[in-house]
């Protein structure tokens, strides 16, 4: 049943269900709902590149009605104003320009040195223990350390930042109880307050980190609420999706030892391995939009006001776009997947995410002559989140 698409058992492996829906047509109207699932590659690109017709103001993730007590928590502190993910032109262009200036090739070159140092320190740590949980011990701390340092967050605050980031990610794709809604909303208010206080610090004492750059941006005209909203997006997007990418690319190679051997023998294949992991296990499975006018997607009428979910995980396995779409193809050429989106909302941090994954994989192959699943019968388990595909654990055995 399609209405079970976002339920936990299907979320564990949604790809067969995607295929069933694609066989019915490239767009699926969810029964008794105003939600349209866009499943075909070309149609997903069409929606993502037409912001005038399909607005990003739908909000991130799946919509869930908030309990009154949970709404009350949100009303007590800072609000998240529309800046990047949930905004449209023309104001979106202003924020995009400001944030993009932090991810230029020159800045990424400088960040590469920090990423390399962070990766080396993490490899030193896991080298001391033969069996590790790769997700917990490497994939999770890597982007959190990188993005926290980028933002200007002290390392002493990393543990609380991980909780804040995890809670923000859970909101996107899970069906939360009233108590859990209250907890994650409280967490969000703590995060926003933290950023607000650090923003005020930088107004008095300028810094060279990203928060400091935001305070100085646009001749100092960004409000505190605009700054903390941008910082919130950068934290969650820069952390959660990269955790998923780094975990997915290693799992993909471990599950197919001949691919691991090929990549180990020819490091020039690492970028292709990263792109295939992005395609096959899209860190973000769906991007929400809302139709601003009566429209039509591949012959399917979509009334104004309808919610439209661009199913990235389905588009990336569309047989009309990819030959043998469920198989890893390291010779596939330039990336054609839509895991980082398309158009004006293409992920501004995509290059940093790829950079972290590439440096990490190279370092692991340099240090360890053998990387294997601790349990040959390991069955991956993912978080109960229909939007963010998050591997929960990955036990591996590492040998020199």
Longest CA pairwise span in the chain (Å): 60
Contact in structure between 35 and 3 (CB atoms under 8 Å): no
* Residue the block writes with tokens 């995890």: 166
**What pLDDT sits at residue 137?**
97
Opening angle at CA 258, ends 256 and 264, nearest 5: 110
Neighbour-count burial of 177, counting CB atoms closer than 10 A to its CB (0-12 exposed, 13-18 middle, 19+ buried): exposed
**What pLDDT sits at residue 3?**
53
**What pLDDT sits at residue 236?**
87
**What pLDDT sits at residue 2?**
46
Domain boundaries defined on the chain: 61-280+340-399
**What pLDDT sits at residue 222?**
96
Residue pLDDT tens, the chain, 400 long: 345 677 888 999 999 999 999 999 989 999 888 899 999 999 999 999 999 999 999 876 666 678 899 889 988 889 889 999 999 999 999 999 999 998 888 888 989 999 999 999 999 999 999 899 999 999 999 999 999 999 999 989 999 999 998 898 888 776 788 999 999 999 999 999 999 999 999 999 999 999 999 999 999 999 999 999 999 999 988 888 999 999 999 999 999 999 999 999 999 999 999 999 999 999 999 999 999 999 999 999 999 999 999 999 999 999 999 999 999 999 877 778 999 999 999 999 999 999 999 999 999 999 999 999 999 999 999 998 889 999 999 999 999 9
Opening angle at CA 334, ends 330 and 339, nearest 5: 90
**What pLDDT sits at residue 329?**
94
**What pLDDT sits at residue 65?**
76
Which CATH architecture does the domain made up of 61-280+340-399 adopt?
Orthogonal Bundle (1.10)
**What pLDDT sits at residue 7?**
81
C-alpha–C-alpha distance, residues 145 and 76, integer Å: 30
């Amino acid at each position: 049943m399609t209405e079970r698409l976002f339920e936990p058992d299907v979320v564990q492996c949604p790809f067969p269900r995607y295929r069933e829906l694609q066989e019915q047509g490239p767009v699926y109207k969810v029964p008794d709902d105003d939600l349209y699932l866009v499943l075909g590659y070309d149609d997903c690109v069409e929606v993502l590149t037409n912001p005038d017709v399909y607005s990003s103001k739908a909000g991130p993730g799946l919509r869930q009605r908030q309990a009154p007590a949970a709404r009350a928590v949100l009303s007590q502190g800072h609000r998240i104003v529309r800046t990047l993910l949930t905004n449209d032109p023309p104001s979106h262009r202003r924020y995009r320009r400001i944030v993009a200036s932090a991810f230029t090739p020159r800045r990424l070159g400088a960040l590469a040195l920090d990423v390399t140092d962070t990766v080396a320190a993490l490899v030193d740590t896991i080298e001391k223990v033969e069996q590790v949980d790769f997700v917990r011990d490497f994939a999770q701390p890597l982007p959190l350390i990188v993005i926290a340092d980028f933002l200007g967050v002290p390392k002493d605050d990393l543990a609380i930042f991980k909780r804040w980031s995890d809670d923000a990610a859970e909101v996107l794709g899970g069906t939360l109880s009233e108590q859990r809604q209250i907890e994650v909303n409280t967490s969000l208010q703590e995060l926003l307050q933290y950023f607000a206080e650090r923003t005020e610090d930088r107004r008095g004492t300028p810094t060279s980190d990203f928060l400091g750059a935001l305070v100085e941006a646009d001749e100092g005209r960004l409000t505190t609420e605009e700054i903390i909203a941008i910082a919130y997006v950068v934290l969650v997007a820069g952390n959660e999706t990269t955790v998923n990418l780094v975990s997915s690319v290693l799992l993909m190679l471990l599950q197919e030892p001949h691919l691991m051997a090929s990549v180990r023998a020819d490091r020039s294949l690492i970028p292709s391995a990263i792109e295939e992991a992005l395609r096959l296990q899209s860190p973000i499975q769906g991007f929400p939009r809302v139709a601003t006018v009566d429209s039509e997607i591949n012959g399917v009428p979509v009334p104004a006001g309808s919610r439209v979910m661009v199913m990235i995980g389905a588009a990336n396995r569309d047989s009309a776009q990819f030959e043998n779409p469920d198989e890893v193809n390291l010779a596939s050429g330039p990336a054609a997947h839509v895991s980082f989106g398309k158009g004006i909302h293409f992920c501004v941090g995509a290059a940093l995410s790829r950079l972290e994954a590439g440096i990490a994989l190279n370092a692991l192959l340099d240090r360890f002559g053998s990387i294997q699943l601790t349990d040959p019968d390991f069955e991956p388990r993912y978080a109960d989140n229909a939007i963010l595909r998050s591997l929960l654990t990955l036990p591996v055995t590492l040998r020199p």
